[in-house]
A and B are shown apart, each in its own frame.
Chain A
């Protein structure tokens, strides 16, 4: 765990130092960004649904990790070569698994994830109804009982003490 973090941090550092060199190296790839905003929007649209595996709480669109950059350029290349969004998504899943998808697909091993909350909601609702039912019937009984006893007492008192 620690080694990963340090690995990443050092990569970042080296990346920063090497930025000057990198800018030259990546100059060609940066061009289409300005040249074709429509394509870039498409790239970002797809990247926003993919998880960056280095910084797992970021999308590939939002992450500055090296891998995210690489995968964005991979998406760009595939879009240029005419691949559809579905094909690109499938390409990513083939390599990185379902985990790469920010929106997990509905399949047998994610049923609990997708439908679990609704199941809990139903269970909660049933428990609520049962609880409420028990509570009202119980309270009805006690008030009834108390009232009856009080009424009887009052009546007996009234009978014993004529006006």
Chain B
């Protein structure tokens, strides 16, 4: 037994290192999950006279998608969002993060517009309030206005099917139980 002690110690270390390799350091758990989605009031893209505030969606489950025309990963994600919007399962609100109106509008024309509207966060202040650090990011917000989940980086078919859909189903069941 004593002879194998170093081997056991080494194997233990290997297990920890292997587990460490599986982790993605870019995925920092958001402290905002389970908390109220920070409120804001921002102008709507191409409807500059109107403003959007998350408060107006209370009672609904919705997805806040942080996007920008300069963001390459958003390009990857965008067709999936367009597809998701077509299915009309969950309203998608865009947060146009540190972008300019012209390229943003151009982008939506070119790629399709999955958003009910896009709030314009020109300076990124709202982004900071939401702890945004790697666009694209998506926040799933429930009927009470709580952040249920944060998707960091582009949504993929996998995350939509295996994370978003089950969460949406769960939230809908909950709302039926307590109308």
Contact = CB atoms under 8 A, between A and B. Distances in A.
Contacts of B76: 3
A56 B73 CA distance: 19
Interface string B110-140: 0000000000000111001111011100000
* Interface bracket on B: 20 to 34
A133 to B, nearest CB: 15
Interface string A89-100: 000011111110
B48 interface: no
A64 B58 CA distance: 38
A97 B28 contact: yes
A7 B29 contact: no
User: Which residue among A3, A6, A54, A71 has the maximum number of chain B CB atoms within 10 Å of its CB?
Assistant: A3
Given A70-B124, A95-B128, A4 B153 contact: yes
B60 interface: no
Given A3-B154, A7-B71, A70 B28 contact: no
Contacts of A93: 31
A70 B123 CA distance: 8
A7 B134 contact: yes
B20 interface: no
Interface in B78-136: 98, 123-125, 128-131, 133-135
A24 interface: no
A66 interface: yes
B31 A66 contact: no
B179 interface: no
B30 interface: yes
A95 B70 contact: no
A74 interface: yes
Given A56-B25, A95-B129, A7 B73 contact: yes
Nearest to B5: A127
Contacts of A71: 128
Interface in A1-44: 1, 3-4, 6-7, 10-11, 14
A93 B28 CA distance: 12
A56 B134 CA distance: 12
B73 A67 contact: no
A53 B31 contact: no
Return the 9 tightest CB-CB contacts between A and B, nearest first.
A53-B133, A95-B131, A3-B73, A97-B31, A7-B73, A99-B28, A7-B72, A10-B72, A96-B131
21 contacts: A1-B26, A3-B73, A3-B76, A4-B134, A4-B153, A6-B73, A7-B71, A10-B70, A10-B72, A54-B134, A56-B25, A56-B26, A67-B133, A70-B124, A70-B128, A74-B128, A95-B128, A96-B131, A97-B28, A97-B30, A99-B29
Interface of A: 1, 3-4, 6-7, 10-11, 14, 53-54, 56, 66-67, 70-71, 74, 93-99
Given A3-B72, A7-B71, A97-B28, 19 more contacts: A1-B26, A3-B154, A6-B73, A7-B73, A7-B134, A7-B135, A10-B72, A11-B70, A14-B70, A53-B28, A53-B134, A67-B133, A74-B125, A95-B128, A95-B129, A96-B133, A97-B29, A97-B31, A98-B31
